[in-house]
Amino acid sequence: MAKFDNSFTDELRQRLSLVDVISRRVPLVKKGQNYWGCCPFHNEKTPSFSVSEEKGFYHCFGCGEHGDIISFVMKSENIDFKEAIKELADMAGLKMPEIKQKSAAQIESEENYIQITEQATKIYQDLLYKDSGKHALEYIKNRGFSDEMIKKYRIGYAPKNNIIASFFNNINRDKLTATGLVRIGDYGPYDFFRDKLMFPIFNAHGQVVAFSGRSLDGSEPKYINTTDTELFHKRQTIFGFNFARDAIHRNNRSIVVEGQIDAIQMQVHGFGETVAPLGTALTEDHIAILCKSNRNITFCFDGDNAGQKAALRACTLILPFLRETSDVKFAFVTGGKDPDEILKNSGEEAMRKIIDNATPLIDFLWDSVNKNYLVNTPGGRTQAEKYLKDCISKITDKIFQNEIEQEYNQRKFNQWHKWKQQKYTPIIEIPDVDIMTVNLIKSIVQTYPELAEKYMDFFVSLNISFDEESQKTELSLKDAEKFIISFKLQRYIKSLKDEKLKLLSNIPEDAGEDYRNKLKEIDENIIKANEKLELLLDINK
């Protein structure tokens, strides 16, 4: 059988959720670790079709159908492999490449690549415990790393000389430079990593495909990474993911921190589900990989401005991946510390408290908007409204999007416009609204936040508190709005009649044309309001 270059199909499997693709055709319900539904390949009433997101395959216990994301599209839509790849590429937003047979030279190149990086890892590991690596070993042990941790994560040391270029001097230069370990200068090949604490970067199969080197002399940047190669792409690689995969599945979430050392320390101190981006800003590809594994994610960043900005970026990136079952939160380590320091100085329980008290995404976004915009001014509220609307529009699940929109509309009504209640002074004293009407108005506001926005001034004039939750109304949107309009007209007519009564009960001695015109104007307004009310009642019949 011909071997095909599977890098693109691997990327599709990485970016797309098997559950999301299958649920477009088959309603699925999560039971235990898997999702279940009625098999689309044979008639059945009792669900026997199982989908495993973690393992990346489906299996029907009724008819025996079994496969992955590609075979499902092929079988369910009766199309060939290339057509299925094209459809999945469209879903993932990727450009469809030409499907070429992998050549013997490509296979050999990949094998050479892995052999070189594996051998380099062993060299770095060995040098860490030599005299030349003494300062690197001292540094990493002062950071709380034991020999067992160093061995597990295969941490090593790259010396100041060209150890890798010298060791592989008999290998073709192109093969060596393809790994990113060596570059060619004016005087020949030289090592890219020099005097660095070395963290190997693993692919999904546990093979070393790249390295991240940390400076030991305080120079910036703190970390440098292997440049992108045929087998390594920073934007699509998450540090520690190969170690965290099982824990993410077991704990039903992932934790994202900012650096490699933080990720390792978290993993060995009870937070095995922790990962980190590779010294770069979090990308959409990182989010896609994490969400494919589990849509419950806690981002843990520093509490400074940079950490807040990183969190807000993560928030906007993850919005298209949200589902109603997603549990996305944001935790912050304050006081200029990071998870490594918290674990070292205060222990696991202190770190767990930070994670457990993380802020849900919907609250984090709301708080960020209130911090970044002057919502006590009309202009600031307008800007905040536009930003929130843009964020909400990124949510692809329309029903869930609508729920989030209603939640924010309710918050805007209760919080952004409370200042109006303090400024409002009724011209005419109007009796309190009866309790049944109050409850109905509260339920309408709870059910239809858009009506709350539309009739904001009128609701504020009623002096009703909307802070407490109330049951949703059974009225349709149309009937609810008719009730509000009719009630508003009745209140208006009542205020006109009260104003007329007040005028008639206190006729001034010098009452003249102005006084009579005022009474006439009130009568005309009462007639007009009654006509509108009668028309509205006729429409309701």
Q: Which helix (H) or strand (E) holds 215?
A: strand 208-215
The whole-number average pLDDT for the span 240-258 is 90
Domain limits of the chain? 7-92, 104-232, 236-370, 425-540
CATH class, 104-232 region: alpha beta
Compute the distance between CA of residue 247 and CA of residue 254 in angstroms, rounded to an integer: 8
Q: How confident is the model at residue 108 (pLDDT cuts 50, 70, 90)?
A: confident
Tens of pLDDT, residues 16-67: 888 888 888 888 888 877 889 999 888 888 888 999 887 888 998 888 888 8
**Mean pLDDT of the chain, nearest integer:** 85
Sorted by sequence, the CB contacts under 8 Å of residue 490 that are 6+ apart come out as 533
Which candidate, 343, 322, 193, places its Cα nearest to that of 257?
343
pLDDT digits (tens, 9 = 90+) for 480-518: 888 888 888 888 888 888 888 887 777 776 667 777 788
Q: Which residues of 156-177 are buried (b: 16+ CB within 10 A; e: fewer)?
A: bbbbeebbbbeebeeeeeebbb
Token pair, residue 317, equals 């990136």
Q: For 444-463, write each residue's pLDDT tens digit.
A: 887 887 787 778 777 777 77
Band (pLDDT 50/70/90 cuts) for residue 424 is: very low
Each residue's pLDDT tens digit, 251-290: 889 999 988 899 999 999 999 999 998 866 788 889 988 8
- Would the pLDDT of 360 be above 80? yes
pLDDT higher than threshold 90 for residue 122: yes
Highest average pLDDT, of 28-37, 163-172, 302-311, 433-442, comes from 163-172
Residue 231's CB is within 10 A of a number of other CB atoms, namely: 20
Residue 426: predicted pLDDT: 38
Between 156 and 467, residue with greater pLDDT: 156
Contact 49, 36 (CB under 8 A): yes
pLDDT computed for residue 7 by the predictor:
65
Other CB atoms within a 10 A radius of the CB of residue 428 amount to 10
Higher pLDDT, 513 or 355: 355
Alpha carbons 85 and 98: distance in angstroms, whole number? 11
Please report, as a single letter, which amino acid is at residue 324.
Answer: E
Helix (H) or strand (E) holding 365: helix 361-372
Residue with tokens 């693993």: 202
Output the six-digit token pair for 494: 């009542």
Q: What distance in Å separates the CA atoms of residue 401 and residue 324, rounded to the nearest whole number?
A: 9
Which residues make Cβ contacts (< 8 Å) with residue 439, sequence separation at least 6?
470
113 pLDDT band, cuts 50/70/90, is: very high
- Domain 236-370: assigned CATH number: 3.40.1360.10
Please tell me the distance from the alpha carbon of residue 378 to that of residue 387, in angstroms, as a whole number.
14
pLDDT in the model for residue 120:
97
pLDDT tens digits, residue range 365-392?
Answer: 999 999 888 888 888 888 999 999 999 9
Average pLDDT score over residue span 337-366: 92
Provide mean pLDDT across the span 180-203.
Answer: 93
**Residue 424 CB neighbour total at 10 angstroms:** 11
pTM for this predicted structure: 0.65
pLDDT at residue 419 tops 60: no
- Residue of 403, 241, 244 whose CA lies nearest to 325: 403
Residues in the chain: 541
Tokens at residue 107, please? 């296979």
- The whole-angstrom separation of Cα 77 and Cα 79 is 6
pLDDT at 141: 94
Query: Would you say residue 189 has pLDDT above 60?
Result: yes
Q: For residue 183, report the phi and psi dihedrals to the nearest 5 degrees.
A: -125, 165
Please give the average per-residue pLDDT across 349-353, as a whole number: 94
Pick the CATH number of 7-92 from 2.40.50.140, 3.40.50.1000, 3.40.630.40, 3.90.580.10: 3.90.580.10
